[in-house]
Structure 1
Amino acid sequence: MGRQEEAIHVADELLTDIELKRLKASEVVLKASRLARLVGHTELTEFLGFERSGYPTDGSAREWVGRAGRWADKEEEKFYTSSIAKIEANAESNQRAIDAMQGGGNYSGDMALVASGNHDKRIINLSKALSTANGVCGQVVATVYDMVTEIYHELLFSALQASLFADTQKLIDGSLAAASGTALDKIERVSDRLRDGDPESVSQALTTCRRLIDSCADYVFPARDEPYAIGAEATLKVGPQQVLNRLQAHTHVCGASKSRRDRLRRTLSDLYERCSAGTHAEVTIGEARFVFLQTYIALGEILTLSPSHDGEP
């Protein structure tokens, strides 16, 4: 199991633990600490650190004091600083004391009324302390639940995204390999240089993008002398120099919708113009990376079109 898969498992299990009340607050904090470590979540790590070790009184944890329901008197800046384990232990101790005092005492004599009153007052005080401790524990668990839920959804989306990208990359790489031969080798070299921030790779990247577009056009729709009819009256010249027209003709042959054809035409037109500029001095490495990636995706979409699938890959 990889780190991300383990994090998803822990998050899912922890949410279930909280929903079914299978863990005490201190146990929730410890299990959430494992998740925070797996995903490197800074905020959750900070919050859980305070809950495990106690809160400082220098004001640095003020936000978490509020989220954990630890204010005793907000105006006077008084709050409960003990760790969640100590607060939980106090709650359990108070509950045992209340249980032991239930049913009242056996009082007699002149001080019976006073003793009975003190007994009741003791139960009331213990109940208030218990309620406060339980409130803090409940709020801490609720805060952990909210943060873990957000992390869980992010992890699921990231896993889905990674799966979609991997599937798409595999599909595109296979199509590019068939269309351009050594194109994938060129892509890997240029991509490495762009990641390294090599300024000299900008011109090479854009030139490679242009050549990829040319070779893909030759592969999916070889040049013809006669125009291609794209509608009842409209035709496209599809000679050797009409690279973009040939790609548009291919999307039409594959039965892609007009809106999809128009989108791909605009995208490739912009990319081809950018890649064919006489000078690349004004193109930054950052822009070159995106031009390169957009070219890869656009060509991948075109190459995976098929006449037998009504324009869908």
Structure 2
Amino acid sequence: MTQKAEALRLLEETLKELESQKGSVFAAIQKLSRAATLLGNEDVQIWCAIQFADSRYVPELENLIKLATSNDDQASKKFQSALDVIFERLKAIGLKHEIHFTNDELSQKASQSGGGYVSVGFIEERYADLVRTKRGNDGTYYKNNLYSHLGYVRNRAHGFASDLFNQLKFSDTVSNSFDVLKAAVDDKLLDLNPVLAEQLMLAFRGVSSSKDEEWSQALTTCRRLLEGIADHLHPADTQPVKGRVLGKAQYVNRLWAFMDRAIESESNRELAKAHVDFLGSWIEKTNKITNKGVHAEVGQLEAVKAVFHTYLVVADLLDYLDSGKTSKPKSDINTATIDELEALLDISRATAKEIVKARVQYGKLDKLLLSKIRGVGPKTVEKAVAAFAL
């Protein structure tokens, strides 16, 4: 296996780990680190090492937090001088602001009750212990703070892994691959709403310009586009859905509500929940970038990334819209193969065989008969109702 193929495999496993509700953040970052090493990406390697509490980097980062959270007058020359010294030390060991230590990350690491700069593996273990023992804290670590810390690391790792995966997967065919995606999204969006489609195409054209004001405008257009899609797919409502406010300004929540509604099967909805959440986080990230476009000078690369990610987000939304329009008929449990029973019900081969034997014995299965089969519990019956015409 080539280094590229191995790195792709590791990145795929990283993303699966991060997008699974039961996935391990520690295991995901281990795989991300190995992939970054294979690809020679030193920035991601260093960030992963920091998450493992590498002693080459952590002491100086802790010094930065200690200074930032001190009672010293931050406007004073003494404070600024001390800050400059720490930043020089961080630079000397290869650390870069906004890559290896963002302001958000420093805020998370500043909380000792959330784990601070200990290894993410330890943080994950402490959180699991508190969940298992049903405690809010153990006197040192607090469950909510640990959860927040893990959530931040999970999202940041997902961003790194996604970028590396996309760069590697399409490194030889970036133009052709994106052209295929762009053409499909443009066509579908033109059918759905020509005005929105034109906005997206104009944003794409804007990032190809040599004028920085057009890059900023493209970012603003991305946000407006997402708001417009939300208005079309799930208009504002005064009634919250699953605790999410669905007002005019909460367009991300309304997109989430649409996706929750568009996934018909309850079991599939649960499996897709992690993906929905990550899609929502990408929309939020795009929103933050576009807001930056209003208040700061925007680089072309930043604008291009925002437009590309917007295309990916819209492609997913349109796919869910299509799936909601064409509801496929459910299979019949009485004619399903053993392989289908095993896969759709997430049961063992032995239990699948028992179902086949039972349907031969009874002639036709219903919920009651199914529940009497050895190895079939209430959860399996629920999955059977969702997957089959039962």
For this structure pair, what is the TM-score category when the shorter chain's length is used for normalisation? 0.3 to 0.5
| Structure of larger gyration radius | 1
TM-score by length of 2: 0.35
Does 1 or 2 have the higher relative contact order (CA < 8 Å, sep 6+)? Answer: 1
For normalisation by structure 1, the TM-score amounts to 0.42
